[in-house]
Copies of this chain bind each other. A is one copy, B any other.
Amino acid sequence: MSKILLGVGPTKINKDALREFRGDIELCRTDFSRNLVKNQVQKLNYFFGENRYSFAIPGSGSVGMEACLSNLLQSGDVIVVGVAGIFGWRIVEMAKRLGVQVLVVEADLGKGVQLEKIIELLRHYKVKLVCLVHLETSVGVLQNLDSGFSNFLKERGTLLLLDVVASYGGIELELDKWGVDIAYASTQKCLSAPSGLALISYNDNARREIEKNAQKVNWCYDFSNIYRHISEGVYPYTTPLFLLNVLDSILNYIMKFGKETYINKQRHSGTRVKEIFESIGLKMLPESIWEAPQVKVFYTPPELDSYKIINVLEEYGIEISPGIGKLKHSIIRLGTMGTAANTNELEYLDEIVHAKIKALL
């Protein structure tokens, strides 16, 4: 039996979406390829929202993170990063390497970042950019956002960056309503495509800043140059055609059923995972108002190393994720992203949890 992946990503590649994918697509200079490259903007906007500049670049979500920061920031700029887990800290690390002054607003464990604290900082500093992670997979926390916050930022000319690596395709994004000027996502989580592309999306506010940095930012990261080429159906470097084709097939598949169906399936499956583990007495790490729909994180009892649970599930062919850093041995993390939202597999999980995990507690 092939392994069941219920970790927090990557997910299993969506083979249903690839049934008609030939994999030997003809490369370069064909109308087919040019249209594929041009049309990605509109297709990616199915989740990003209308009227945005959106495209894929070779790399992972982290490449998207660093490329967005590089396109907006210059040495000496002041930014605020809201940190609720390790991906927030990664933004801090990358921004520091760019010579930027970073102000950190850290959330309590299991909570999202309090937007009022960011607003407070913005009253005292001239801040160019605020960075938040929408779904912190390290703790299962979903950051809330509201239009009051975004209006405050807009009034001060501060841009908002949102990491949607783990939420793109899994949660309804309302980037315009939330005032998100720039966002980046990945392909290997809720889309269940192979890893290897970072998805970028920005609005006109971000575009103006990006254009100021054009020619200064790293050549491979230069969004102005990339977007201009993509509008003509090519990339400034080798077009990642194989991965773009797979991505296109998967987006077509999702659009056929509709994003509501696709997203609901992940949320319902997340609810089922929660039921399963709560029914044997495990407590969730995030407070319920911060809980992500398709990533569920549980404490293991103080005397039980989380790897005991992980290893037993592994014996039965189920892979879940351990904690990271200080939480390595005290939490377990499960995802129902993309193809992992599979009812049959969750009923099998339920059986194993009751038959084998309960006995460990």
Contact = CB atoms under 8 A, between A and B. Distances in A.
Contact of A218 (B26, B61, B70, B188): B70
Nearest to A13: B24
Given A27-B10, A28-B319, A195-B238, A220 B5 contact: no
A212 to B, nearest CB: 15
Nearest to A198: B58
Given A237-B63, A241-B10, A218 B58 contact: no
A12 interface: yes
A66 B23 CA distance: 29
Given A59-B220, A61-B237, A219-B97, A24 B7 contact: no
Nearest to A27: B10
Contacts of A97: 215-219
B58 A63 contact: yes
A238 B188 contact: yes
B238 A186 contact: yes
Nearest to A3: B26
Interface in A283-336: 319, 321
Interface in A196-239: 196, 215-220, 236-239
Interface string A1-23: 01101010110110100000001
Nearest to A64: B220
B27 A63 contact: no
Given A93-B219, A242-B196, A7 B23 contact: no
A3 B24 CA distance: 10
A36 interface: no
Contacts of A217: 97
A24 B12 contact: yes
A60 interface: yes
A90 interface: yes
Number of identical monomers bound together in the oligomeric complex: 2
A7 B33 CA distance: 15
A215 B28 CA distance: 37
Contact of A28 (B7, B28, B239, B242): B7
B219 A62 contact: yes
Interface in A119-154: none
A256 interface: no
Contacts of A240: 60, 195-196
A90 B59 CA distance: 20
Contacts of A2: 24, 26
A243 interface: yes
Interface of A: 2-3, 5, 7, 9-10, 12-13, 15, 23-24, 26-29, 58-63, 66, 70, 90, 93-94, 97, 186, 188, 194-196, 215-220, 236-243, 319, 321
28 contacts: A5-B27, A5-B28, A7-B28, A10-B27, A10-B241, A13-B242, A28-B319, A28-B321, A29-B319, A58-B63, A59-B63, A60-B238, A61-B238, A62-B219, A62-B220, A62-B237, A63-B220, A66-B219, A90-B219, A97-B216, A97-B218, A97-B219, A188-B238, A194-B241, A194-B242, A194-B243, A196-B240, A196-B242
Given A59-B220, A63-B220, A218-B218, 14 more contacts: A2-B26, A10-B27, A10-B28, A12-B27, A13-B242, A58-B196, A59-B59, A59-B63, A61-B238, A90-B219, A97-B219, A188-B238, A194-B243, A195-B241
